[in-house]
Amino acid sequence: MARISSVIAVAAVAIGVLLLAACSGKAGAPVPTATASSSTSTPSRSASADPLSTVDAILVGGDGLHLQHGTETVALLDYRTDPAQAIAALTAVLGAPTATSEAGGTNHTVPSTLTEFGGLRVVDHHYGAPVTYDYLVTPAWSVMLSAAAAGDVALGTTVGVAVGEPYENAQPVAGSGQSSATMPDGSQESWVLVERSPGSPEVEGGAVGVLVGARPWPGPISWISAPAMFGGA
């Protein structure tokens, strides 16, 4: 447990996500796009506009990014789908990426392309061999938040917590508790699992889902990452 906790901490600092390479699962559905109105009358703005233009919040869930308009989910960007589709949808909502860079692989991560939208980072994983994308071991991409908003669009989680809030607001999944590690600079980092991804095992088996962390501990919340591993052997 201590070894995996340290791995998660290093991965959160290096590229904001822990990833283990393996093969299972199936690719998800493509990102929904707007459909044209079939009415012969002049459509209203709400009926004719691209639904993505109405998004006012992006929430990190165990299954993907939920693009919201109020309480309505306009689109779900599934972690198993083509990263290019997710980036295209986010560009439609947030505008052009603010930065793009490459991250080399480590003993615990694969090489990846990092696409930044202010406080939202998409990590496009480059596996060394063909894989079938899934939530638990080989997601096509993952996400990390480091801010509570990107422009006018709010950023948070489907369980209702966001970067900048008190760390104690992040309630761990029952039985998961909290993990922590001392970083090289001497600071303490802590994180909790707030939501499991579909099909995730119990914590003892290495649960995967949405992690909420604070560095330095005791907070406030400084990062949110998914899908990422918590616990395990």
Q: Which residues contact 71 (CB under 8 A, 6 or more apart)?
A: none
What amino acid occupies position 23? Answer: C
Decide: 192 and 210 in contact? Cβ < 8 Å: no
pLDDT of residue 20: 35
Phi-psi region of 199 (alpha: psi -120 to 50; beta: other; left: phi over 0): left
Of 107, 112, 137, which is closest to residue 20 (Cα–Cα)? Answer: 137
pLDDT by residue (tens digit) across 83-141? 999 999 999 999 999 999 999 999 889 999 999 999 999 999 999 899 999 999 999 99
pLDDT by residue (tens digit) across 140-172? 999 999 999 999 999 999 999 999 999 999 999
